[in-house]
């Protein structure tokens, strides 16, 4: 028993109680407040320093050039003759040599050898001229190819297992304008209308994001824009803005053209051919577009452009309007009729709406039947501004706000000069028992979108 008690005493002696140091709450609170105040002060000083020095540092490291935003210009309509293939030949001196007239006398062997040698020389010259012309056309196509891009519309989808994947629709686009801060690209609307993001791949393979500037539902075309600020200097140096040509040139049928884009499938391609017809039309409200066909056989869903031998755009490829049996004949919408619409979309201005389907008054009808020259109204759309203003089928529009209208193209161009919701004064000629009489109408223009 004594041993047990001594053991307990030893264990009591070894026990030690550690007491915590009393917490000084006032001192802790004071330190916390000082730390918080110092953090706020340092943060404010850092923010002020950044705001004051950032513009100075940025301007020195990346000096900004003064950028002037340009508007798409109104092109002067100049009727030019198309360049013919023979005009592209570099050396034409051999073409000017004529075959020597042979005498009706009997020729010896030396004369025969000389004539055969000249014939062979002419054939050789013809081959060289063909190669020269082909090289020239290839050079034109390669230069225009710098304005062709691949536009990808990206949309995210979810499969049955909740896995997210991207759907990419691709189409060809054409760089049509540079306003100083952006490149404007003309593209088929169907490939990007439901896209969550749009990417543009230029000729150097570099890809940049793009945004929609303005669309036109009637012809299914959209202008998208890519900021020049985000593009590398290398890319900007390799691309070009293509020039719009004139598809209303006299005697354009039979002239050579180059088709560039996705002509035969999904891959970029170049095809050569000739214009075979310009008689087709695409009648739309407040517009009438010329359809230009070629002898090029391609995909029924071909995309791209026609260019002439000057490297200018003659039309935007669209085979959806081809008649049955010629679905694969590559056709375009003429650029002369599209140019005002392209200019309007690039300048981000909405086209005014009137709602008229019309045509020109043929000169023979004007002379024989006395129908006034102007924009002949074939039909007005229901619930349109034209119908509300009292414009009727059979009327001939001869004046808009003091501007003489001699054909339907004049009417379309005049409409682009005015804005939606603007009230304009129109003069129409309406048939009456005693002939045509002049009527002035006030029209409130509507919205096309």
Q: Please tell me which residue, 434 or 393, carries the higher pLDDT value.
A: 393
- pTM (predicted TM-score): 0.74
Task: Please check whether residues 271 and 341 belong to one and the same domain.
Answer: yes
Given this model, what pLDDT does residue 2 score? 46
Task: Please check whether residues 262 and 336 belong to one and the same domain.
Answer: yes
| Distance, CA of 150 to CA of 172 (rounded, Å) | 5
| Distance, CA of 354 to CA of 388 (rounded, Å) | 10
Provide the number of structural domains found in the chain: 4
Task: Please check whether residues 233 and 283 belong to one and the same domain.
Answer: no
Last residue in a domain, options 313, 345, 377: 345
Given this model, what pLDDT does residue 85 score? 55
- State the virtual CA torsion across 291, 219, 244, 294 in degrees, nearest 10: -30
Task: Please check whether residues 140 and 154 belong to one and the same domain.
Answer: no
pLDDT at 224 over 50: yes
| Distance, CA of 215 to CA of 186 (rounded, Å) | 10
Is residue 280 domain-resident?
Answer: yes
| Distance, CA of 267 to CA of 148 (rounded, Å) | 12
> Residue 166 is part of which domain span?
148-238
Is residue 172 domain-resident?
Answer: yes
Task: Please check whether residues 356 and 443 belong to one and the same domain.
Answer: yes
Q: Torsions phi, psi of 67, nearest 5? A: -105, 130
| Average confidence (pLDDT) over 229-247 | 95
Q: What is the pLDDT of residues 290-303, one digit of tens each?
A: 999 999 999 999 99
Given this model, what pLDDT does residue 99 score? 46
Is residue 14 domain-resident?
Answer: no
Q: Please tell me which residue, 243 or 323, carries the higher pLDDT value.
A: 243
Task: Please check whether residues 322 and 364 belong to one and the same domain.
Answer: no
* CATH number of residue 383's parent domain: 2.30.42.10
Task: Please check whether residues 319 and 293 belong to one and the same domain.
Answer: yes
Is residue 55 domain-resident?
Answer: no
């Amino acid at each position: 028993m004594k041993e047990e008690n001594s053991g307990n005493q030893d264990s009591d002696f070894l026990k030690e109680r550690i007491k915590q140091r009393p917490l000084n709450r006032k001192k802790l609170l004071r330190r916390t407040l000082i730390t918080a105040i110092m953090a706020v002060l340092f943060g404010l000083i850092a923010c002020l320093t950044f705001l004051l020095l950032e513009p100075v540092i940025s301007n020195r490291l990346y000096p900004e050039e003064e950028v002037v935003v340009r508007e798409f210009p109104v092109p002067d309509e100049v009727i030019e003759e198309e360049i013919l293939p023979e005009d592209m030949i570099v050396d034409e001196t051999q073409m000017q040599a004529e075959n020597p007239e042979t005498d009706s006398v009997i020729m010896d062997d030396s004369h025969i050898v000389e004539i055969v040698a000249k014939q062979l020389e002419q054939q050789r010259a013809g081959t060289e001229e063909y190669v020269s012309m082909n090289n020239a056309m290839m050079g034109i196509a390669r230069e225009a190819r710098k304005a062709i891009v691949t536009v990808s519309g990206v949309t995210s989808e979810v499969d049955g297992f909740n896995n997210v994947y991207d759907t990419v629709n691709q189409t060809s686009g054409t760089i049509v304008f540079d306003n100083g801060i952006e490149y404007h690209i003309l593209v088929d609307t169907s490939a990007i209308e439901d896209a969550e993001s749009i990417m543009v791949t230029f000729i150097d393979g570099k890809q940049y994001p793009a945004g929609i500037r303005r669309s036109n539902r009637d012809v299914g075309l959209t202008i998208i824009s890519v900021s020049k600020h985000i593009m590398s200097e290398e890319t900007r140096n390799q691309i070009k803005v293509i020039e719009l040509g004139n598809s209303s040139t006299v005697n354009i049928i039979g002239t050579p053209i180059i088709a560039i884009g996705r002509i035969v499938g999904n891959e970029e391609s170049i095809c050569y051919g000739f214009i075979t017809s310009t008689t087709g039309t695409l009648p739309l409200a407040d517009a009438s577009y010329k359809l230009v066909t070629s002898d090029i056989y391609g995909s029924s869903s071909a995309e791209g452009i026609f260019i002439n031998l000057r490297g200018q755009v003659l039309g935007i490829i669209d085979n959806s309007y081809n008649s049955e049996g010629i679905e694969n004949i590559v056709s375009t919408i003429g650029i002369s009729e599209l140019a005002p619409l392209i200019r309007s979309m690039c300048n981000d201005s909405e086209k005014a709406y009137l709602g008229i389907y019309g045509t020109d008054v043929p000169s023979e009808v004007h002379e024989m039947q006395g129908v006034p020259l102007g924009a002949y109204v074939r039909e007005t759309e229901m619930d349109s501004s034209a119908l509300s203003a009292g414009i009727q089928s059979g009327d001939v529009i001869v004046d808009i706000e003091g501007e003489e209208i001699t054909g339907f193209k004049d009417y379309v161009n005049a409409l682009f000069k005015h804005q939606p919701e603007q009230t304009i004064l129109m003069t129409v000629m309406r048939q009456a028992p005693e002939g045509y009489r002049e009527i002035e109408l006030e029209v409130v223009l509507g919205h096309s979108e």
